[in-house]
Amino acid sequence: MQRLPTIPGRPRAVAVGAAGVVLAALFAYLWAHDYTGPHHGQFDLAIYWNAVRFWADGNHLYDYAQYDPVNVSLGFTYPPLAAVLMRPMLLLGLPATVVLSVAAIVAAAALSVLLCVRERFALRGGRLAVTVGVATAALFTLEPVRQTLAYGQINLYLAVLVLGDLLVLGRRRSRWTGLGVGLAMA
């Protein structure tokens, strides 16, 4: 029987860290979900998807309305550029978009934590991966982050754009500095 190759050093730490982030975030989310209340069924993501579908079918984007038991109806509230950026999700269908969104929100949370941890602490390899995993899990116990996941909101994507702009591009004095903040604002 042939042995599978091992992943040496850094890639292994990254893989273990990524798996830890996903598991820690999932457990933290489930704990917070049971502790603080029910899941909201990706309600906002459904609004985004349905409004963009409505628009792609030739209707006016801001005429779309989705029933809401509290607010009666909710529509698409982002600028038109957001609809253009969201249009590719129609290729997947809503169920696949929900799965991708949940994974992307967890990844965006972990990336936000990674950028902040790297800014403040000189950690590398396994220590960095464990710190990011634990901090990401803790992040999902906070109500705004838990709600972002429950509703399928874009808040963490915007945070990654701003943090990446400030902590990566800005630090490197890149000519692209400002792009993330500008895109987040748009």
Each residue's pLDDT tens digit, 129-171: 888 888 988 888 888 988 898 889 999 999 999 999 999 888 8
Contacts of 75 (CB under 8 A, 6+ apart): 47, 51, 62, 63, 64, 65, 66
Q: How far is CA 121 from CA 89, 102, 114, in A?
A: 37, 28, 10
- By C-alpha distance, which of 97, 98, 106 is closest to 42? 98
Is the pLDDT at 36 greater than 80, yes or no? Answer: no
Model confidence pLDDT, tens digit, residues 74-128: 999 999 999 999 999 999 999 899 888 888 998 999 999 999 999 888 888 778 8
Count CA atoms closer than 13 A to 70's CA, side-chain side: 1
Indicate whether 28 pLDDT > 90: no
Residue 39 has pLDDT above 70, yes or no: no
User: SS3 string of 136-157?
Assistant: HHHHCCCHHHHHHHHHCCCHHH
pTM: 0.79
What confidence score (pLDDT) does residue 6 get? 45
The whole-number pLDDT of residue 53 equals 96
